[in-house]
Structure 1
């Protein structure tokens, strides 16, 4: 597509994840409007499996699709895909310019309403905007090799991702290396179960800390790092300077927290404050930009959407933004965001993963009432007391997926079960054709 050509659309959606997919899905329901889906990549990658394939690159292709035709929806005749990432969005002009790279290099797109669903910068956990599949494959393989050879690994961030990375590192790379998990508070899971959560659960914090330190031999270190140098992953030996002046040697360093929203491409007019200091879109309770009412945001605004499961919260917020974009086009009043999704927002995650598969450990910690009864967790029954159709008998490890008879709903069994369970959800969020790199990756580059 020529960089000089401008394509006009009613709604433009920017993002490559489930948020963008569900926003497009909602906007596309009105068949007489034109929707631009700026997916930005020539491939898809299921993000919830990142901790698995970063530690074991042989698994990467299983969770990746390199054939765009398999995941581009045919049921949306009014949607046009763009597979080059965004360079700039000039909100005053309502104009998007794509990077000079990829199938739609340099394309210019105008819009009447814009939905930004780009997520946050998460080094290695998610591909960098503009990255090709071959570049991503090389990055994943380099990460896996560096972790395999490392003698000291530092994961910065003790939330869900950091804890999961520690477990998957041990599952795939053994116990020969020293693993340090940095925590600003000195505790794990502070945002979900600890002092910063809406309903702290010290028992879960204590349990996970004990499993990490005793079973997985992870050092949980009370420390913070403010130097912006360390907001990127480092896959070669170096020194990490902590805010307290202490220095740690490492072979691999990986930040395991969302660094900042992917919104740097947004520009506003003089005197209009579009973003806050962290890069979030300054928004109202409608998930709508205060500076530019035609701009909506999913997971990248100052108006937070709390609760678990996170995928459900993202889906509901995305559908809301799609509906409000249509309302804006029709001259209707934009509505306040209210999360009435299913399942309803929960204070804690439904499970806590410390590695996937054999050697991993998972805790069912926050299932809603009906599911808890179904899985016999209220009485500790476990398998084989889970009644049909509650059981997932087609998934490997299901026999102990919710715990063992009269045992707790945790351990290696649920961790094995989780790998199969992960594969059940991508399709419903727009991830299709996983398991095929496609022709871009030659056979000799794939890991067997």
Structure 2
């Protein structure tokens, strides 16, 4: 027998959080099933740090659900992942694992914020905390002993992984950053931009190759086995026939939307890439009670990405309420703050001491506060622009007369991420009593 809810929210990231939060605030009488799918909460924006150094992992993880769950009276959490989302029956069957094993949930509307498949960067659906810790430790151990590492994907994630590898593991290993275009940042400057900012691309390339000793390699690979990480020695054959030997291989690109659990009698549920086919309301074209955040054929372009996801989540929450109330849905209009920008605000090449951050495209007020306009960095940045409570604040915008970049902004960014709890990330720093402490890295 299925347990009935008005709205089901599926996902474990900030998209799902903001959707559940919006419904909880707007309609306290609406019963919500929040299918979180894990017994722990992990902060994905810190992944480059803890994959390169597992000692960092617990700092960005909470294994005690009571500490990270929000207390909304009309929202019920489910900590087992979805095995099957039947869009015809409007039912969700959970996997036979975890605290809510095998549960059957029915809904009137569902919001899917399941994200993209990102091996190692994100835990696999339904993974336990013990399994995740073992995976992170295995990755860190393999990277620490590797002589040649290939990071496939030269976008923001790949660049960040290169930097954090150097910060955590030094300069003795060879790093190859594989790029389909032969350039960095070839996919990360937003769909509103026809091409990346050439000046930023050149600057990031210079820092990567000269300071961080990274080889940017032009090449692509179609073999599907290289959609997963490989933590043991092997050989990668590029599409042009060239072979590259490696000790560790890590894909740094999204493999595709996590929509494999969706089933429907209608063939037009998903597109060829697995994205949910949607209209301008982020509503499924075949099942009007289904909405998607970050996994749809209707793109939500612009940076910062967290603001775009938040805006889309809040929109889908309101439209789900409209559906169950028999009201018409509205076209999505991105009213997020800050407003959409074509370029990311920064490029991180590692966090903390030894890392490097380049400010690229800040909103107007932040640009003035960070002294990008006049290059008035430390020690000339005036109050109230100084973030006195955050490590690295003295050099957050670079040095006076110099570019808005450097090691100090990288130190600042690591400290700033620890204050990122506005999106529902809470309780960092505790695995919980059921999970043994990991071995310290040496």
TM more than 0.5:
yes
Which residue among 155, 180, 185 is the counterpart of 1:184?
Answer: 180
Match of 1:219 in 2: 215
Contact 1:188 1:194 in 2 (8 A): no
Contact 1:194 1:205 in 2 (8 A): no
Match of 2:345 in 1: 350
Match of 1:395 in 2: 390
Is structure 2 residue 34 aligned with structure 1 residue 37?
Answer: yes
Displacement of 1:196 in angstroms is 9.1
Displacement of 1:193 in angstroms is 4.3
2-side partners of 1:77 and 1:140: how far apart? 35
1-side partners of 2:438 and 2:335: how far apart? 49
| Structure 1 residues 89-128: aligned runs within 5 Å | 89-128=85-124
Displacement of 1:394 in angstroms is 0.9
Match of 2:416 in 1: 421
Is structure 2 residue 205 aligned with structure 1 residue 209?
Answer: yes
Would the alpha carbon gap of residues 193 and 71 (structure 1) be closer, same or farther in structure 2, given more than 3 Å must change? closer
Which residue among 416, 419, 427 is the counterpart of 1:433?
Answer: 427
Is structure 2 residue 18 aligned with structure 1 residue 22?
Answer: yes
Displacement of 1:220 in angstroms is 0.6
Displacement of 1:314 in angstroms is 0.4
Is structure 2 residue 281 aligned with structure 1 residue 286?
Answer: yes
Displacement of 1:192 in angstroms is 2.9
Q: Please give the per-residue CA displacement for 1:103-153, whole angstroms capped at 9, x wherever unaligned.
A: 000000000000000100000000000100010001001100100000000
Q: Please give the per-residue CA displacement for 1:328-362, whole angstroms capped at 9, x wherever unaligned.
A: 11111100111121100001111110011111110
| Structure 1 residues 17-416: aligned runs within 5 Å | 17-29=13-25, 30-74=27-71, 76-193=72-189, 197-198=193-194, 200-269=196-265, 271-416=266-411
Contact 1:13 1:36 in 2 (8 A): yes
Displacement of 1:194 in angstroms is 9.6
What SS does the corresponding residue of 1:80 show, helix, strand or coil?
A: strand
Contact 2:163 2:355 in 1 (8 A): yes
Contact 2:378 2:398 in 1 (8 A): yes
Contact 2:191 2:302 in 1 (8 A): no
Contact 2:190 2:342 in 1 (8 A): no
1-side partners of 2:190 and 2:267: how far apart? 37
Displacement of 1:373 in angstroms is 1.0
Match of 1:442 in 2: 436
Displacement of 1:444 in angstroms is 5.8
Contact 2:191 2:301 in 1 (8 A): no
What SS does the corresponding residue of 1:60 show, helix, strand or coil?
A: helix
Matched residue count = 441
Displacement of 1:440 in angstroms is 2.1
TM (norm. structure 2) is: 0.97
Contact 2:346 2:357 in 1 (8 A): yes
2-side partners of 1:296 and 1:443: how far apart? 40
TM (norm. structure 1) is: 0.96
Displacement of 1:95 in angstroms is 0.5
Q: Please give the per-residue CA displacement for 1:75-104, whole angstroms capped at 9, x wherever unaligned.
A: x10000000001001110000000100000
Displacement of 1:397 in angstroms is 1.2
Query: Does 435-444 or 311-320 show the bigger shift?
Result: 435-444
Unpaired runs of 5+ residues, structure 2, are none
Would the alpha carbon gap of residues 435 and 282 (structure 1) be closer, same or farther in structure 2, given more than 3 Å must change? same
What is the RMSD of the two structures over their aligned residues, measured on CA atoms?
Answer: 1.4
Q: Please give the per-residue CA displacement for 1:23-50, whole angstroms capped at 9, x wherever unaligned.
A: 0011122011100000000000011000
Contact 1:155 1:162 in 2 (8 A): yes
1-side partners of 2:205 and 2:271: how far apart? 34
Contact 2:112 2:290 in 1 (8 A): yes
Displacement of 1:445 in angstroms is 5.3
Unpaired runs of 5+ residues, structure 1, are none
Would the alpha carbon gap of residues 389 and 396 (structure 1) be closer, same or farther in structure 2, given more than 3 Å must change? same
1-side partners of 2:216 and 2:435: how far apart? 39
